[in-house]
Amino acid sequence: MAKNIQGVDLSTGKLYIPLTLASLSGPNGFGETFGIQYSTLGLPPLIRTWNQDAPTGTLGLGWSLTTPSITRLGNGSIYDTFLLNGQKLIMTSYVSDGEGGYNLTFVTAVNSLLQINYQTTAEIWTIVDSDGITYTYGSDTTDHTQYGVNWQSMNGQGPNLWVGTSIQSDSSNQSQYVRIWNLASKTNIYGQQVNYTYSKSSLNVGKNSQGLMYDVSSYLVSINVVGGQSLQLFYQEKGTWEYPPLRSNYETDGTITNAYQDRIETQYLSSAQLYDELGQLQNIITFGYGFLWDNFSFSASTDNTFNSSMMNKRLLTSITVTTPDGYEVTPPHTFDYWGYGNTTAENNNDGFQAYFNSTDFNIMTMLNGALDGSGFATGYTLEPYQDASGNIYNQLFGHLKNIQSPEGALTWYSYAEVSQNYSEIGSDFDTQWQNQLDLTQITPPTTSGITWTCPRPFWGPDGYLVIRWYSENKYNDNYQMCIVVYEWLGKWVSVLPSSSETFAIYDWEANPIEDYQVITTGTGFFCVLITSSSSDFQGFVKIFNRNPNLPGQWQSNSYSYNINAGEYLTKLPDNESDMSNRVEVTIGNNIISILDKVALNLYAFGWNGQSWDVTTVDNTTLSSSTSSS
Res. 169 pLDDT band, cuts 50 70 90: low
Please provide the size of the chain in residues.
629
Angstrom distances, CA of residue 612 to CA of 175, 465, 549, 608? 21, 22, 15, 6
Between 623 and 202, name the one with better pLDDT.
202
Q: What is the C-alpha separation between 470 and 474, in angstroms, rounded?
A: 10
CB 333 within 8 A of CB 403: yes
Res. 236 pLDDT band, cuts 50 70 90: very high
Q: What is the C-alpha separation between 75 and 356, in angstroms, rounded?
A: 45
CB 79 within 8 A of CB 94: no
Please check the confidence at residue 159 and state whether its pLDDT lies above 70. no
Q: What is the C-alpha separation between 145 and 184, in angstroms, rounded?
A: 9
From 150-164, 267-281, 504-518, 540-554, the region with the lowest mean pLDDT: 150-164
pLDDT of residue 171: 59
3-state SS assignment for residue 410: strand
pLDDT of residue 432: 35
Amino acid making up residue 512: P
Q: What are the beta bridge partners of residue 323?
A: none
Q: What is the DSSP letter of 194?
A: E
Please check the confidence at residue 324 and state whether its pLDDT lies above 60. yes
The overall average pLDDT reported for the chain is 79
pLDDT of residue 286: 97
Please check the confidence at residue 373 and state whether its pLDDT lies above 80. no
pLDDT of residue 243: 92
- Mean pLDDT is highest, among 35-44, 292-301, 495-504, for 35-44
CB 587 within 8 A of CB 520: yes
Q: What is the C-alpha separation between 474 and 451, in angstroms, rounded?
A: 10
- Mean pLDDT is highest, among 37-41, 231-235, 438-442, for 231-235
From 194-198, 233-237, 522-526, the region with the lowest mean pLDDT: 522-526
- Mean pLDDT is highest, among 76-85, 93-102, 225-234, 243-252, for 225-234
Q: What is the C-alpha separation between 141 and 369, in angstroms, rounded?
A: 51
Please check the confidence at residue 476 and state whether its pLDDT lies above 90. no
Res. 462 pLDDT band, cuts 50 70 90: confident
Between 431 and 256, name the one with better pLDDT.
256
Between 388 and 196, name the one with better pLDDT.
196
SS3 for 575-616 is CCCCHHHCEEEEEECCEEEEEECCCCEEEEEEECCCCEEEEE
Tens of pLDDT, residue by residue over 537-554, are 667 888 999 888 777 788
Please check the confidence at residue 576 and state whether its pLDDT lies above 50. no
Tens of pLDDT, residue by residue over 400-440, are 999 999 998 888 888 876 544 433 333 333 333 343 344 55
Q: What is the C-alpha separation between 256 and 259, in angstroms, rounded?
A: 9
pLDDT of residue 571: 37
Angstrom distances, CA of residue 29 to CA of 20, 22, 128, 194, 265? 17, 14, 19, 12, 35
pLDDT of residue 21: 94
pLDDT of residue 62: 95
Per-domain boundaries in the chain:
16-272+290-317, 431-627
Give which of 84, 171, 94 is closest to 128, Cα–Cα: 84
Sign, CA dihedral 500-504-507-513, equals: negative
Q: What is the C-alpha separation between 325 and 75, in angstroms, rounded?
A: 51
From 149-163, 299-313, 530-544, the region with the lowest mean pLDDT: 149-163
Between 83 and 436, name the one with better pLDDT.
83
Please check the confidence at residue 344 and state whether its pLDDT lies above 60. no
CB 423 within 8 A of CB 494: no
Q: What is the C-alpha separation between 585 and 64, in angstroms, rounded?
A: 36
Q: What is the DSSP letter of 43?
A: H
Phi, psi (degrees; rounded to nearest 5) at 372: -90, 5
CB-based contacts of 37: which residues, under 8 Å, 6+ apart? 16, 17, 18, 19, 63, 64, 66
Percent of the chain with pLDDT over 70: 76
Supply the pTM of this predicted model. 0.69
Please check the confidence at residue 565 and state whether its pLDDT lies above 90. no
